Amino acid sequence: MKTASKTAAAVLAAALASAACAQGLLGGAGLQETGSNGILAVVEDRVITRDEVMREVAPFIPQIRQKSLSEFEFNKRVGDYIREIVQNMVDRELIVKEFRDKGMTIPQSFLDSHFEDYIKKEFNGDRAEFIKFVQAQGKTIKQFRQDQEKDLIVGYMQNNKRQTVAEISPKKIRDYYEANKSKWYTPASAKISLITLKTGRTATLEENRKLAKEIVAKYAAGEKFSELARKYSKDDSSAKGGEWGWYKKGELNPLLDKQAFSIEAGKITEPVEISDMIFILKVEEKKPDGISPIDDVREQIEWTIAEQNGRDTYRKWVEGLRKKAFVKYYK
């Protein structure tokens, strides 16, 4: 266990060193100069240190390195990410303070259950592995649990603020629809059924070609396509009479797509050969391309506007917390 912990710690230390080199750590706009005490921000009476920020940043250093095309880009990405983490940590402290100032708490039983569920989900219940993970982050179990509680509080307050938005008027829905009509464009679509003939041990390609012609003739003579599919088709849809459902233009194999959108609803295609298989396709229904009517997308628009309003409400609330609190940033 000690060896594994040392290995994990070494990996973390290497990532920290890489992050520390980037941007001379936190050089950049919005951060004030300070001494060598390692403080990056102060929120009321809470101090946010360089070490705890870098522990949050370190796991993402390899990913940032992989996405960066140059050392300059890597340094910039790391610097931006560090500032983002600092701001998130500041906001978290402000939200937690607001939550507690209002006299709200999370029941200890819920925190305990959440903690145990986390170990079960992330570590298959292996507490030893969980402890190694926490130690590699330079945290104690107590600190880890405190962070979990803060994250739960932030999640609760975020949802609470996002849900306290005004009702969306029909005019707002109509205005959004008109301003974003291109979003509601839908390509032509077809509901199809298929009969699939596969070449293999039971039939050669030539035998299947002959059978396909017989199936087309049987359909022309009045037999139901669904019954023919149940009898002859060799794919999973045969039990459902060959039903494949709705497909937008361009979603099917190009050869099948061309056939499906070149015939009328209720018609079947001539046999289509693709590799060592033969398909007979029936178009059950068709829908033309065009802009969806507002009634078809009303719920989607309401959800989109509500999400945007919720994000704006939450953002303004957090900005208000920042303004009324003592917050100072350093570099």
Kindly state whether residues 107 and 229 are assigned to the same domain: no
Query: Is position 321 within any domain?
Result: no
Query: Is position 237 within any domain?
Result: yes
Rounded distance between C-alpha atoms, residue 154 and residue 159, angstroms = 9
End residue of a domain, out of 132, 164, 196: 164
At 82-125, the pLDDT tens digits run: 999 999 999 999 999 999 999 999 999 999 999 999 999 999 99
Query: Is position 329 within any domain?
Result: no
Kindly state whether residues 259 and 135 are assigned to the same domain: no
Q: Helix, strand or coil for residue 32?
A: strand
Q: Which residues of the chain have pLDDT under 50?
A: 1-16, 19-20, 22-36
Kindly state whether residues 124 and 196 are assigned to the same domain: no
Kindly state whether residues 211 and 137 are assigned to the same domain: no
Residue 74: how many other CB atoms lie within 10 Å: 20
Question: Which of 255, 88, 259, 140 lies closest to 190, judged by CA?
Answer: 259
Beta-sheet pairing, 39-43 with 185-186:
unpaired
Query: Is position 173 within any domain?
Result: no
Amino acid 196 reads: T
Query: Is position 78 within any domain?
Result: yes
Q: Reduced to 3 DSSP states, what percent helix, strand and coil does the chain have, rounded to the nearest 5?
A: 60, 15, 25
Kindly state whether residues 253 and 136 are assigned to the same domain: no
Query: Is position 177 within any domain?
Result: no
Q: Helix, strand or coil for residue 248?
A: strand
Residue-range definition of the domain harbouring residue 242: 188-288
End residue of a domain, out of 99, 130, 164: 164
Kindly state whether residues 149 and 196 are assigned to the same domain: no
Torsion angle of the four alpha carbons 137, 140, 145, 146, in this order, in degrees rounded to the nearest 10: -90
Kindly state whether residues 17 and 150 are assigned to the same domain: yes
Residue 135: how many other CB atoms lie within 10 Å: 20
Kindly state whether residues 132 and 241 are assigned to the same domain: no
At 54-80, the pLDDT tens digits run: 888 888 999 999 999 999 999 999 999
Beta bridge partners of 21: none
197's enclosing H/E stretch is strand 189-198
Provide CB contacts within 8 A for 287, sequence distance 6+: 186, 188, 189, 190
Question: Where on the phi/psi map is residue 307: left (φ > 0), alpha (ψ -120 to 50), or beta?
Answer: alpha
6's enclosing H/E stretch is helix 2-21
Kindly state whether residues 23 and 85 are assigned to the same domain: yes
Residue 288: how many other CB atoms lie within 10 Å: 8
Query: Is position 96 within any domain?
Result: yes
Q: Helix, strand or coil for residue 21?
A: helix
DSSP assigned state of 242: T
Torsion over CA: 141, 144, 150, 155 (sign) = negative
- Cα of first residue to Cα of last residue in the chain, in angstroms, is 37
Kindly state whether residues 42 and 105 are assigned to the same domain: yes
Kindly state whether residues 160 and 12 are assigned to the same domain: yes
Kindly state whether residues 159 and 199 are assigned to the same domain: no
Task: Identify the CATH number of the domain in which residue 35 sits.
Answer: 1.10.4030.10
Q: Would you list the DSSP string of 122-176?
A: HHTT-HHHHHHHHHHTT--HHHHHHHHHHHHHHHHHHHHHHH--PPPPHHHHHHH
What's the domain count of the chain?
2
End residue of a domain, out of 253, 269, 288: 288
DSSP assigned state of 36: S
Task: Identify the CATH number of the domain in which residue 214 sits.
Answer: 3.10.50.40
Query: Is position 331 within any domain?
Result: no
